[in-house]
Amino acid sequence: MLLSGLAVSALALYIRQGNAVPAPTGVNVITPVTGWGDNPTKLDLEIYVPSKLAEKPAVILALHGCGGTGAAYAQGTKYSSLADSNGFVVLYPSSRKDNNCWDVATTKTLTHDGGGDSTGLANMVKWAITKYGADSAKVFVTGTSSGCMMSNVMAATYPDLFTAVSCYSGVAAGCLAGSPGSSPQSADPTCASGQIVKTSLGWAAQARAMYPGYNGTYPRMLIWHGEADDFVHYANFAEELKQWSGVLGLAWTKNNTDTPQPSYTQIVYGDGTKLVGYSAKGVGHTVPVHEDADLRWFGI
């Protein structure tokens, strides 16, 4: 995939986004873990467990963007420090392939127990639930850019594992299906450029097909995207909302301007408890992580 000078600059920002953010004060050391279960794509895992763990704690799976690592995402976000005051466990996995992007393109990862990245990530979460006596009703996934793309995939492939999702600047689950890769260099650019458009029913059918025969509930979805994002194009925001409104059977209700802050618009579906979008005016790639809003959405 040939890139223009502008695209190369955007790519440089995209690749740095997991590494260039200074560590916020108070972030504690995360611990590498091995032997957590079947790991078909050889992912790495580091975890943060607060000194005072809640009884039956919550678990958050936090997914870095392309070019990043779990350790860098731990430094660049506040989930670890918030875990100290809320007693939950944070999982920070790392992808080491395709420019450290999560695989959101292959049939294996887009299939429940298919043996792709999604299977390894699900096994990490299951291990943590058992290891720490976690509340299986308080298991969440969040991520930025490629991590958001993977969060959507996890909601589709393992909806019975996660209660809620909050993700930033990604694409709908299955948008990159069949692409030769998932990174800016290897991917078919049609998805990231916002050119894959489907109906709500079409997107919902694609998500549901990732877990054939599943008839249970799907996670609550919180979707963030910048209106000035032309790298993972803002058009993808509408496709994500169409997908999850179709899966959850919800219709648009209202918009609330300057929520949760000036220049952001809250887009509410149904009664606002299962699907909400946040559109950020003037924000490119990526929307800054709003950890406090995530925790409220998760109910932690």
Closest CA to 13 of 219, 157, 228: 228
Beta-carbon-side half-sphere exposure of residue 231 (alpha carbons within 13 Å): 27
Cα–Cα distance measured from residue 240 to residue 250, given in angstroms and rounded to the nearest whole number: 13
Which of 80, 95, 145, 245 is catalytic? The answer is 145
- Tokens linked to 192: 């990231």
Cβ neighbours for 169, distance < 8 A, ≥ 6 positions apart: 144, 145, 148, 224, 225, 226, 229, 232, 285, 286, 287
Sign of CA dihedral 116, 121, 125, 131: positive
Q: For 158-234, where are the alpha helices, taking DSSP H only?
A: 189-192, 200-208
Cα–Cα distance measured from residue 240 to residue 222, given in angstroms and rounded to the nearest whole number: 10
Cβ neighbours for 100, distance < 8 A, ≥ 6 positions apart: 18, 64, 66, 67, 68, 69, 94
Active-site residue 145, yes or no?
yes
The DSSP letter of residue 236 is H
Residues with a known catalytic role: 145
